[in-house]
Amino acid sequence: MTDRFQSHDAWRPAGGEAFTLAHLSDLHATDVRLDSPRDVLNKRALGWLSWRRKRRKEHLREVLEALIEDLHACAPDHVGVTGDLTHLGLPAEIEAAVEWLERLGPAERVSIVPGNHDAYAGAAGAERWAPWRAYMGDADARAEAESAGDDPATRGFPWVRRIGASAALIGVSSARPTAPLLATGVVGDAQRARLEKQLGELAAEGRTRVVLMHHPPLPAGQSRRRQLDDAEAMRALLARAGAELVLHGHTHESHLDEVAGPHGPIPVIGVPSSSSIGHRPARRARYHLYRVEPGRCPDGAPRCRLSWQVRGFDPESGRFAAEGDEKLA
């Protein structure tokens, strides 16, 4: 692994242990089985056609099997999946996703946030994602209680999972049902308020903070149809509260960006789909392995040293292998 972010000249170790984190996304690793025509009423009719025509030929079981084999060989300390585990967010797909989540590792070492496909249509929220609860942070009755009056899509979010004595993962939901042909997301005022408070509390504990979310908190570029509607408010929040790393999916491409933080830039990294056969090579399956070394600035603010490796699917060998660093930067 190559050192890519020596974030601060005066960085010093926090005394906590470094850990490795595998970042996967947009697995779409479920078959769509329709039990009733009602399953494809509304927006799901278009989604079902897209799955029949395109997606089921792109996201393949053989790639997922190679991914699981490589993950086991690399043995990261933790696995983070930034959403879109399913195609249409049907209850049977939510259940089916658990079958392969269990193969990634024990629930206390695998963390997920939902994506727009998981919230495709109908009610989205705690009830829909109940089978995934064990993968959504430490049990936190306070977060559930504080979000009780919220939009159901953001109840129980952000979740927090503390890692050892000096790091934490924070899972933000940007997933909610949208109108046909839209794949937008939103974090929402109430969830952002909770997120800012949590980031402050975790900084006070001296923890390196890794935020997982599906939509990138970046300007939309060409695709307003797929944007995070409150990306600007999220960037303002990160500039005030800080985080040491933000990981996202959704774009199906590798991205390395930065947003402003209170103590310097915060890396924002996107990973492509980790299950795509890659009929377009730029979209071939990848995942990222990060080594996160918690540290502090001289003023005590958390600051991590970060390095990473890109691992990609090779269709010839049918296996994942390390790719060059330039693939991400």
User: Contact residues for Fe ion (CB under 5 A)?
Assistant: 84, 115-116, 250
Query: Which residue's CB is nearer to Fe ion, number 184 or number 198?
Result: 184
Find the shortest distance in angstroms from Cβ 116 to Fe ion.
5
Query: Which residue's CB is nearer to Fe ion, number 116 or number 254?
Result: 116
d(CA 253, CA 235): 21
Find the shortest distance in angstroms from Cβ 110 to Fe ion.
19
| Closest by CA position to 313, among listed 61, 63, 21, 26 | 63
Look up residue 17 and give its DSSP letter: P
Q: What are phi and psi of 49, to 5 degrees?
A: -60, -40
Find the shortest distance in angstroms from Cβ 113 to Fe ion.
11
Query: Which residue's CB is nearer to Fe ion, number 175 or number 259?
Result: 175
Q: Tokens at residue 150, please? A: 């919220």
Please list the alpha-helical segments (H only) found in the chain.
44-50, 56-58, 61-74, 91-104, 141-146, 189-204, 231-241
Query: Which residue's CB is nearer to Fe ion, number 115 or number 294?
Result: 115
User: At what angle are helices 231-241 and 189-204 packed, to 10 degrees?
Assistant: 20
Find the shortest distance in angstroms from Cβ 185 to Fe ion.
8
Query: 135: buried, middle or exposed (CB in 10 Å: 19+, 13-18, 0-12)?
Result: buried
d(CA 110, CA 21): 10
Find the shortest distance in angstroms from Cβ 243 to Fe ion.
21
d(CA 211, CA 160): 9
Query: Which residue's CB is nearer to Fe ion, number 270 or number 294?
Result: 270
| Closest by CA position to 25, among listed 119, 116, 121, 103 | 116
Note whether 79 and 105 are within 8 A (CB): yes
d(CA 308, CA 328): 10
Find the shortest distance in angstroms from Cβ 18 to Fe ion.
30
Query: Which residue's CB is nearer to Fe ion, number 282 or number 321?
Result: 282
**Residue nearest Fe ion (C-beta atom):** 250
Query: Which residue's CB is nearer to Fe ion, number 53 or number 142?
Result: 53
User: At what angle are helices 91-104 and 61-74 packed, to 10 degrees?
Assistant: 30
Find the shortest distance in angstroms from Cβ 251 to Fe ion.
8
Q: Tokens at residue 237, please? A: 């929040």
Query: Which residue's CB is nearer to Fe ion, number 115 or number 171?
Result: 115
Find the shortest distance in angstroms from Cβ 314 to Fe ion.
25
User: What is the secondary structure of 144-156 as a DSSP string?
Assistant: HHHTTTS-GGGTT
Query: Which residue's CB is nearer to Fe ion, number 59 or number 250?
Result: 250
Find the shortest distance in angstroms from Cβ 86 to Fe ion.
11
Radius of gyration of the chain (CA): 19
